[in-house]
């Protein structure tokens, strides 16, 4: 299953690369800037992908795109295995959900680089008629085990500390 996931990601990135090569013009990032979304934007995309996922398939795809296989998770000071964390999310179901990010702090590992770092986020999720308030501290690194092309985003979450009321 893991091999299948890597394969499909690989194909996805290769086809994007092929697509880009076929364009009649070349998109080049200005010198010194990165085409990667900032660590904070990436974190917001992660929250939307998993917290506001419309279905179990979408949630699973979101977790695979953002959580390292080897992630260490703490939920209200309890160590939770990756599979249990995913199961917890699935057990909550998929009512219409909106995520509002209230506050973030971003500390890149290397100054001005979006490749790796720590993001702390405070957010509010309106899940159906309920409201959940939570904070997450995320340790984001490059996942060198991903066998995807150089154009792909290789950032994954290796540490996730969640506090939720
Ligand atoms: C997973 O994480 C543990 C603890 O951080 C580390 O010792 C181990 O080498 C990691 N395994 C992989 C495959 O990255
Ligand atoms: C976070 O944002 C939501 C939506 O705007 C707001 O209702 C809530 O009061 C905010 N929470 C804090 C602690 O600022
Ligand atoms: C990071 O960017 C700021 C603002 O552009 C600049 O002043 C600083 O020198 C840069 N630091 C490094 C290590 O590149």
Tell whether ligand 2 has an atom less than 6 A from the beta carbon of residue 124.
Answer: yes
Tell me which CATH code domain 2-164 carries: 3.10.450.50
Domain ranges of the chain: 2-164
- Condensed to tens digits (0 to 9), the pLDDT of residues 129-139 reads 899 999 999 99
Q: What is the pLDDT of residues 89-143, one digit of tens each?
A: 999 999 999 999 999 999 999 999 999 999 999 999 998 889 999 999 999 999 9
* Nearest protein CA to atom 5 of ligand 3, as residue: 112
Q: Which of 111, 114, 115 to mutate to test the pocket of ligand 3 (most atoms within 8 A of CB)?
A: 111
∠ Cα 138 2 16 (to 5°): 80
Whether ligand 3 lies within 6 angstroms of the CB of 112 is answered as yes
User: Which of ligand 2's atoms lies nearest the C-alpha of 124?
Assistant: 1
Q: Are 11 and 77 in contact (CB under 8 A)?
A: no
Q: How many CB atoms lie within 10 A of CB 130?
A: 10
pLDDT at residue number 24: 39
Q: Is 98 in the pocket of ligand 2 (CB under 6 A)?
A: no
CB 99 within 8 A of CB 48: yes
Look at 51-55, 81-85, 125-129, 131-135 and tell me which has the smallest mean pLDDT.
125-129
pTM: 0.80
CB-CB contact of 155 with 136 (8 Å): no
Q: Is the pLDDT of residue 33 over 70?
A: no
């Amino acid at each position: 299953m893991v091999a299948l996931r890597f394969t499909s990601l690989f194909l996805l990135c290769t086809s994007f690369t092929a697509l880009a090569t076929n364009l009649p013009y070349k998109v080049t990032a200005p010198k010194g800037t990165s085409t990667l979304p900032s660590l904070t934007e990436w974190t917001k995309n992660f929250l939307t992908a998993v917290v506001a996922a419309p279905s179990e398939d979408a949630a699973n795809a979101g977790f695979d795109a953002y959580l390292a296989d080897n992630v260490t998770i703490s939920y209200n000071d309890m160590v939770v295995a990756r599979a249990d964390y995913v199961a917890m999310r699935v057990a909550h179901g998929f009512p219409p959900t909106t995520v509002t990010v209230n506050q973030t702090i971003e500390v890149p590992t290397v100054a001005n680089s979006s490749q790796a770092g720590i993001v702390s986020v405070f957010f509010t999720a309106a899940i159906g008629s309920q409201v959940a308030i939570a904070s997450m501290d995320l340790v984001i690194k490059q996942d060198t085990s991903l066998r995807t092309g150089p154009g792909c985003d290789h950032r994954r979450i290796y540490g996730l500390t969640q506090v939720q009321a």
